[in-house]
Each structure stands twice: as C-alpha cells, then as structure tokens.
Amino acid sequence: MDNILVGKQEDWILAIARRVQGRVSSFYNLGKSPQQLGGCGGDSGIYSEKPLTLSPRRSPDAGPRGQSGNNKPGFWRKAKNPISCPLPPLLYRCSRGEKLPLRSGGDCFHTQTIGQSVTLKGPFFAMPTPVTNPEQLGEPAIANADIQLLVLDIDGTIAGVSNQITQSVKEAITTVHRKGIPVAIATGRMYRSALRFHQEILSPLPLIAYQGALIKDPATELLHYHTPVASEIALELLDYFDDSTVRSQLSVHCYIDDCLYVRELTADSQAYGDRTGVTPIPYGDLRPLIAATAPTKLLALSQNTALIDELLQAFSLRYTPTELYLTKSHTTFLEAGNPAVNKGAAVRYLAEDILGLSSKNVMCIGDNFNDVEMLEYAGIGVAMGNAPEGVKAVANWVSPSVEEEGVARAIERFLL
C-alpha cells in the first residue's frame, strides 16, 4: 500500500502503522543521514518510492519527554501545510498496533534536529485513528463504497441495557432492506439466543452464532458450518478453571448442541441466562460431557476483570493461534473456540461463498474484541462509541454508542 491513511483529530498528530509482517516500524528523517524521528520503537524504517513531506510546528508546552537532544521541544502538531501529498493532513505514528495520541509532556515525537520539513517514506500498512466523518477518511472508495451486505453484532451494538432493538434502529435496518441490501447477524451468543434478533430484523441470511463457530439458516434449518473446540484442549482449559486459586471466582459455561451446561449455577450464570433467554443446566463436573462431545465453545465468566485479563494472557502464551481462538466479548467474558473460528472468517463465508461478494461490498458494525476480525475484513468497519479503544483503532469510523442508537447513525451516514 503505497500511501498513508489520513484523517484529522483536533490538534494532535496521531499515528499507527503496521508492516505486512506485523512488525513495528519507526519513522525516519531521510535526509543526508537518516535520523529517527520518533521514539516509537522497532528495528526498521518506513520506506517508499513516494515521499510524504510535512512541516513541523513546535509545541509551546512540550515537557521533558518532548524535548530534543538540543533541548528544543519537538512536538508534531497540526501545521499550516502538514503533508505535501494528494491526501488530507494527518500522519499516522507507528507503534505496536495501538492508537497512541500525542499528549502534552507524554508520548510525543521528538527529533535530534528539527528542520523545516521532514520526508517520510512507505510502503506500509496504516490503521487510521477513528474519525466521525467519512469525508475525513482520505479514502473516497470507503466513503462511497458499494455496500451490498450489512452485518451487525447484537450486544453492545443493536441491543444495549434494555436487551431490545430500539425503534429507530429497526427503522434504519428496514430502510437498508428496502434498498436491496441484506442484513445479517454475527454474534457470540448461542444460536437459540440470537434467533429472536435475527427474526426481528427480518434477516434473509444464515445466522452467525458462537463467534462464527456455528452458521445456520433459520429459514431452512440448513447447518452451513459447525466447528467445535477440540475436546482435548477443552479438557485442559477445565483444569485451569478448576485450579484452587481461581475456581471460586469463575463461572464456567460449556456449549454443546446449542444447550448451556454450567459447572454450578452461580449468580453470574443465572444473570447470563436471564439476559440471553437460555436456561443454564447445572452439570457438576463437565469433563465426562466434553470427553463425549466436543463443545462449540467454552466461556469463563468473572466479575474480577483483572483475572479475565490474566487468564487471556496466560492462555495466549500457552496456546498458539493455530491451536485455540481466544477473545473477549465483554470485560467479564473470556471465550475459547476452535482456531478456525472468528467473526471475520464467518462474514467472509457469508459474503464470498454464499453471496458472491468481496470484502469491499461489506459493512460490519460491532463493539468489542470479538468483532475485530470482521471489522478488519469489511470494506467499512464501524466500531460503536462504547467500544474499547483497541477496537476503535481498527475501525474506519466510530459511531455514537449503543444507547445513542449508533447503528442507526452509521446506516444513515454510509447507506442512506
């Protein structure tokens, strides 16, 4: 990709860049002797045949970390002519795949020497900082995309605290249908739990459930896809969940044949059942059940969000992405699935194998880390305003929150 994704957010220059290999890169001043511009880490520069030139403006309030080797502040701020290239002004800073806004006295660009201009070169892959106006995307193809499929998450996207779809969102979805654009559901919920939402939005397509582990057409009962977790790995996970240091803090859910089996009926499991409309089945030791039938997915639920994060990190070190799919659909949920499973793969199947479309024809809207793969796949990926920052960072656009009917606003912006 021989260009730079652009946009604008207040006065601060933001930057996110990833190379094809996913390695971290660094910005360089490609003058007579290359000098690193930013302390964003990494071991290689960004190079291209097409130079991008910007003019610096020193920040009057740069703190010690914003000072250069010659004690001159070196913030990169919005300049009069920030980038001399055929794209609007905003340079994306490279970092470890995360959005890093430049704050006063905090993370900021600083140079050993400050010249009148700096030339930066690619190619590189850049993830744009979310903006709230598609004209700022710097990608006319995105702002005017030929969308022929809309895919929606449920919780935190079309259903908020009320667990219902608001009338405004329903009307927006109906308008999309009238334009001849089919609308699909992609959720981490069980199939039986998601079915009422699928019916409520009058979706003509198969329903993507369990983060994509199950794809089934409610109209024909045709099962397109079901990929469970290997029993051997699921049993290993149970050993972790049964450890005495964490057992009392976790509710363990096992999904088999679209039924929810729990180790014991905790208050958290009951609340989960109340919201999803599914009755949990207390089973005690889940090992015999899993040994006999591989589960569609496993979920560990805890109000101790730090524990959920610790388990996610530990499992990510223990299992490779080819062995286990791990994600968080909520701050209190840790979900484990087959490594071939994620919403991005499921949406790809729906778009390409069933409808004969390409990614550029797809718009996806979601709110959490289990939505990242489908937001990355889609021609237009929209993150809800209530999404974590890491999710917003991969989106093309950030809508208002679910309680502010953000899906309706996104539909109005891109599809109407």
Domain containing residue 359: CATH number: 3.40.50.1000
pLDDT, residue 347, reads 98
pLDDT, residue 126, reads 31
Do residues 211 and 171 share a domain?
yes
Q: Identify the residue with better confidence: 12 or 158.
A: 158
Do residues 265 and 295 share a domain?
yes
In the predicted structure, residue 371 carries a pLDDT above the cut 60 = yes
Number of domains making up the chain: 3
pTM score, two decimals? Answer: 0.69
192 in a structural domain: yes
pLDDT, residue 91, reads 31
Q: Mean pLDDT of all residues in the chain?
A: 73
Q: Identify the residue with better confidence: 169 or 78.
A: 169
pLDDT, residue 217, reads 97
Do residues 347 and 375 share a domain?
yes
Domain boundary among 302, 337, 372: 337
Domain boundary among 281, 309, 337: 337
The per-residue pLDDT for range 232-274, each reduced to its tens digit, is 999 999 999 999 999 999 999 999 999 999 999 999 999 999 9
168 in a structural domain: yes
Domain boundary among 307, 337, 367: 337
Do residues 246 and 309 share a domain?
yes
Dihedrals phi, psi of 372, to nearest 5 degrees: -55, -45
Do residues 216 and 67 share a domain?
no
Task: Read off the pLDDT band of 144 (50, 70, 90).
Answer: low
133 in a structural domain: no
The per-residue pLDDT for range 33-46, each reduced to its tens digit, is 222 333 333 322 22
Do residues 8 and 112 share a domain?
yes
Do residues 56 and 186 share a domain?
no
Do residues 223 and 346 share a domain?
yes
Do residues 207 and 114 share a domain?
no
In the predicted structure, residue 16 carries a pLDDT above the cut 90 = no
Domain that holds residue 101: 1-127
Do residues 46 and 192 share a domain?
no
pLDDT, residue 58, reads 31
In the predicted structure, residue 352 carries a pLDDT above the cut 70 = yes
The per-residue pLDDT for range 64-73, each reduced to its tens digit, is 333 333 322 3
pLDDT, residue 145, reads 75
Do residues 109 and 15 share a domain?
yes
Average the pLDDT over 352-362 and give the result.
Answer: 97
- CATH number of the domain within which 239 lies: 3.30.1240.10
Average the pLDDT over 105-110 and give the result.
Answer: 27
Do residues 312 and 349 share a domain?
no
